[in-house]
Amino acid sequence: MARENFGTMHCSMARALDVIGDPWTPLVLRDLYLGLSRFDELAEDLGVARNLLTRRLDHLVAGGVVQRHPYQDHPRRYDYRLTASGRELVPILMALTAWGDRWVGPPAGPPIRFRHACGSIVEPAITCPTCHEPFTLGNVRPLPGPGHKSATGTRLVGASGWMPPRRRGREPD
């Protein structure tokens, strides 16, 4: 049975996907991060149907990821801007872009690069804030958090003896 609403699951990832899980959402958020802010700009850049973009933006506004700011009264028109919540998604979008570059990107190479404030061109990665090593399947273990309970979407978290899955007899990366 298809699930329509992930927002009621006892799982932070499922609840996040309830807000940002539509395939158009990361593209809308990317464009807002890159500086497009008006509906017509977003519709043109994405090549998306206007009714679909309207629904997606309304959903992001309702989810607190995007704010709508009027810039014209007659007719009423809005700029769309990332909220603090939306801005926190930008590193995740960068990491998704880096994955896309590595596994499914265009043969000519990455269509976008990221320059850090220090001047370096960087490939986004999720790293440990203590030792700065990248997270991998083999070096990060899920543990139950303060809100943990065994429920749909979280049954395996904190399971006794959890180990990362092995791939064809090899140790995980």
Q: Which residue segments constitute the domains of the chain, with CATH numbers given?
A: 12-122 (1.10.10.10)
| SS3 at position 80 | strand
Mean pLDDT of 107-116: 94
Name the strand (E) or helix (H) holding 77.
Answer: strand 77-82
Contact status, residue 112 vs residue 97, Cβ threshold 8 Å: yes
Residue 167 has pLDDT above 60, yes or no: no
Residue 3 has pLDDT above 70, yes or no: no
- Determine the pLDDT at residue 164: 59
Residue 161: band (very low, low, confident or very high) from pLDDT cuts 50, 70, 90: low
Backbone angles phi, psi at 121, to 5 degrees: -80, 125
- Determine the pLDDT at residue 171: 53
Output the CA torsion sign for 27, 29, 31, 36: positive
Output the CA torsion sign for 3, 4, 9, 11: positive
Could you report the per-residue pLDDT of 6-61, keeping only the tens digit for each? 788 878 888 888 899 899 999 999 999 999 999 999 999 999 999 999 999 999 99
C-alpha to C-alpha distance for 127 and 165, rounded to whole angstroms: 21
Could you report the per-residue pLDDT of 132-158, keeping only the tens digit for each? 999 988 888 888 888 877 777 666 665
Mean pLDDT of 63-75: 96
Neighbours of 99 (CB within 10 A): 12
CA proximity to 78, closest of 110, 54, 51? 54
Percent of the chain with pLDDT over 70: 86
